[in-house]
Structure 1
Amino acid sequence: MSVLSPITALVSAVVPMTWGLVLGERLGPLGSIGLVLALAAVVLVAFVPERTAVRASPRGILMAVGAGTLIGVFLVLIDAAPDDSGLLPLLANRTVNAALMFAAVGILALRGAPRTRDAAGRGLRLALLCGALDGTANALLLAGVRTGDLTVVSVLTALYPAGTIVLAALVLRERITKLQAFGLVLAFVAAALLAVD
């Protein structure tokens, strides 16, 4: 994870950022500095150096690049949706996700995956909560690309590991490394520069 997570986050920012710049989006001096700082923050926040960490396999790196590319393409497609489409792009996304999820659950059920009623109830509640949070995040993302530049929104979206790290520190009492703390500070500085540009 310490290697693959930053690769995914970085690629998910670079794909739509590149697309936005190709389409003519331009940043001022502060925004350009903020963009570079944000990309650096993506890597620093997601990178957790461990002495016992294993090297990523070529297959793992390829999957991380593929995942980042597809997240980036999702951002590009959401940005391309007409402004008057409302939440229809997100509804289409959720419909496809639900179909794939129910197909996977159905396959597992047919294969006789072990389950208990209590675990299924907890899993359903957790899935509903995660779905509500994910839906809210995607609605905010859609609002972001409709009111701002894809270049800026894609880089800020790629800072998602920062929220995970802060929550893990507050809720799970996990320790934030000095490198991650520096990345978090860099992320906030970058977000401020991108906001005022």
Structure 2
Amino acid sequence: MVTILALGAALAYGVADFLGGAVARRSTALNALAWCVPTGLAAVLLAALLTGGSAGPAAMAWGFGAGLAGGTGLITFYRALARGPMNVVAPVSALAAAVLPVGVGTLRGERLDATVLAGVLLCLVAIGLVSMEASDNGTDEPTTTGARRLLDSGPLMAGVSGACFGIFFVLLKTAGDGGGLWPLVAARAGNLVIVVAALLFMARVRRGETGPRVAGRTLIGFALLSGTLDAGANALYLLAVRDGLLSLAAVLTSLYPAITVLLARFAYSERLRTIQRLGMAIAIAGVALVTVG
């Protein structure tokens, strides 16, 4: 059941990221998130009300903290992609998001049998391979030097974003087994706080100009669907991690880049690189080992 739930979360995350990316291409990342995040919060709130349950202050606090980390990770990730190189940014972020929960789970005493462990290791390799994109040599790099350039570098920010996503996974697990979906409601509220703060900051820096708006039925529809799917992926991951090991659920969920890559292949006729095809084959082998184990 953990495998099914976690892979379902990966599927939903992958589709949500593809749709959100399509919106961001015609607008901006922050403007896209301004639609997606409130939609996800509304979807999770409705689901929590329908399913019942209640969560104590501690569980809600852990959930809210997870949301702050996840929201920061989203913004940092998009910033990292803007700085590049993409063939370093994407795998660094995805691997950091998967490795951190594995480390925490191990420290907490989680133990995987040999077959499942081999599958998890293969999935970690696959995450890096399927996330790799061709470097964009035409990307303009900043001319700043010294500490500022280091702190604003793509690879460093990719590691930060991946760490934030990993923290999100860990904190949702820490929220506990009870409380229904309410810790997730708190997490989505944390996402919203981060996005609103970023929008206010950018509006002030750019004197009210935040870039092209999200407009048109198709674009708005994509944004709403992306937010709903992202919330659904959060819920599936929460159920998976409650029902099983943190290390296993987080790694399988982090396979979502494979879905996004496949969708881009069909929608934008983007060719899969040989290394990405290899990564997908390794992912299938890893999932098979995890399922058998």
Q: TM-score, normalised by structure 2?
A: 0.60
Structure 1 gap segments, 5+ residues each: none
Q: RCO higher in 1 or 2 (8 Å CA, sep ≥ 6)?
A: 1
Post-superposition Cα deviations, 1:53-108, rounded to whole Å, max 9, x if no partner, equal 87x97422211111111111110111111211111111001112223334444566
Percent identity reads 39
Q: Secondary structure at the match of 1:3?
A: helix
Which of 89, 96, 119 aligns to 1:34? It is 119
Unaligned runs of 5+ in 2: 1-85, 142-148
Aligned partner of 2:187 in structure 1 is 93
Q: 1:91 to 1:151 in 2, by over 3 A?
A: same
Q: 1:66, 1:51 → 2: CA distance?
A: 21
CA contact (8 A) 2:214 2:220 kept: no
Question: Alignment length, in residue pairs?
Answer: 196
Matched, 1:62 2:156: yes
- CA distance, structure 2, for counterparts of residue 53 and residue 108 of structure 1: 25
**2:277 matches 1:181:** yes
Q: Provide the C-alpha distance between the structure 1 equivalents of 2:179 and 2:196, rounded to a whole number of angstroms.
A: 26
The 5-angstrom pairing of residues 71-82 of structure 1 reads 71-82=165-176
Comparing 105-114 with 28-37, greater Cα deviation is found at 105-114
- Take 2:132 and 2:213, find their aligned partners in 1: how far apart are those partners? 38
Q: Distance in 2 between matches of 1:44 and 1:117?
A: 34
Q: Find the counterpart in structure 2 of residue 149 from structure 1.
A: 245
Deviation at residue 184 of structure 1 after TM alignment: 0.4
Give deviations 1:32-70, integer Å, cap 9, x for gaps: 11111111111111113458487x974222111111111
Q: CA RMSD in A?
A: 2.6
Q: Does structure 1 retain, via aligned residues, the 8 Å contact 2:202–2:210?
A: no
TM-score, normalised relative to structure 1: 0.87
From 99, 104, 109, the equivalent of 1:24 is 109
CA distance in 2, matches of 1:53, 1:29: 45
Q: Which residue of 2 aligns with 1:172?
A: 268
